[in-house]
Amino acid sequence: MIAIGERINGMFTDIKRAIEEGDKEPVKKWAVRQIEAGADYLDVNAGAASKKPSETIKWLVECIKEALPDAPIAIDSPRAEVMKAGLEACRENGIKKMLINSTTGQREKLEYNFGLAREFGAAVICLTMDQRGIPKDVDYRVEVAATHVATAMEYDIPVENIFLDPIAMPVKHAQDQIKHIMEAIRQFTLICSPQPHIVVGLSNVGQGTTQKELVNRTFLVLGIMNGLDAAIVDVCDAELMNAAITAELLLNKQVYSDDFIKAYMSRARCI
């Protein structure tokens, strides 16, 4: 699984405070901790409350760079100017691996974000929604996903740089959506060959439940069964990460050894 660490996000109170006070330490601490836990990318989100999100995203990237010279970064913002500022900050700081999180399916959004992807050599998370709003069924998600893939081809973006996101919903408020999301994931794997990556924001699912770790972990295993190969997650939740590795092992996507978890984790730490 490609693990994208969720923790550098202004929705968490320690990061929100760090941003408000210009305190670099919590950001640096979470950067190191998440990479040590096996994160392949660090998601960076200024938070909904940020008044100057472009400046904030630039500052967050600089903090990460001070802690780790070349950690891969996912810029998490729906806003065009924030995305550009974040990618520029990555480039100025010598960060080579970048992920645009995210684009939606409206033609002008795709043109803008795929233009940036080409300019910066970045991968792109493509949410399967457009001007019609939040997806409710499988067909809508698959239709938008196919448009994403076709448009990426027009822009010469290699399919391995495309991450389709069916938009995971909280089970507490949209329980009936989970089975549609699973089926959408399964159908995304059939859109083209080689297939695009498929990602979700996992913590959306358990949000507000009393057993969120269990809910998220179980969703992740079901998702992997259906073809999910990436997730924005709490990489410091060892039980979650171990469940993902074990699911991949049982599906013959990892090589078995008696020490498979240890072997996988030590490889992850060497990035």
Token representation of residue 232: 């924005």
What's the closest the beta carbon of residue 255 comes to ligand THG, in angstroms? 29
Residues that bind ligand THG (CB under 6 A): 6, 9, 11-13, 76, 101-102, 125, 165, 167-168, 200-201, 203-204, 207, 212, 232
DSSP-based three-state secondary structure for 258: coil
Q: Which residue's C-beta sits nearest to ligand THG?
A: 201
Minimum distance of ligand THG from residue 75's CB (angstroms): 11
Tell me how far, at minimum, the Cβ of 194 lies from ligand THG, in Å: 21
Report the residue number, 211 or 257, with the smaller CB distance to ligand THG: 211
Q: Is the dihedral of CA 65, 81, 167, 111 positive or negative?
A: negative
Shortest Cβ 234–ligand THG spacing (Å) = 8
- In the complex with ligand THG, which residue's Cβ is closer, 211 or 266? 211
HSE value, Cβ hemisphere, 13 Å, CA-based, for 45: 20
b/e 241-264 (16+ beta carbons within 10 angstroms → b): bebbbbbbbeeeebeeeeebbeeb
Quick one: tokens of 16? 């929100």
Nearer to ligand THG, 40 or 76 (CB): 76
Can you say how many angstroms the Cα of residue 89 is from the centroid of all Cα atoms in its chain? 19
**Closest to ligand THG by CB, 217 or 254:** 217
Name the residue among 109, 219, 116 with its Cα closest to residue 166. Answer: 219
Based on CB atoms, which residue is closest to ligand THG, 35 or 169?
169
Least distance to ligand THG, CB of residue 139, Å: 20
* CA-angle at 146, arms to 143 and 151, nearest 5°: 125
Six-digit token string for 97: 């691996």
> Min. distance of Cβ 205 from ligand THG in angstroms?
9
Select 235 or 264, whichever has its Cβ closest to ligand THG.
235
- The three-point CA angle 32-13-213 to 5° equals 70
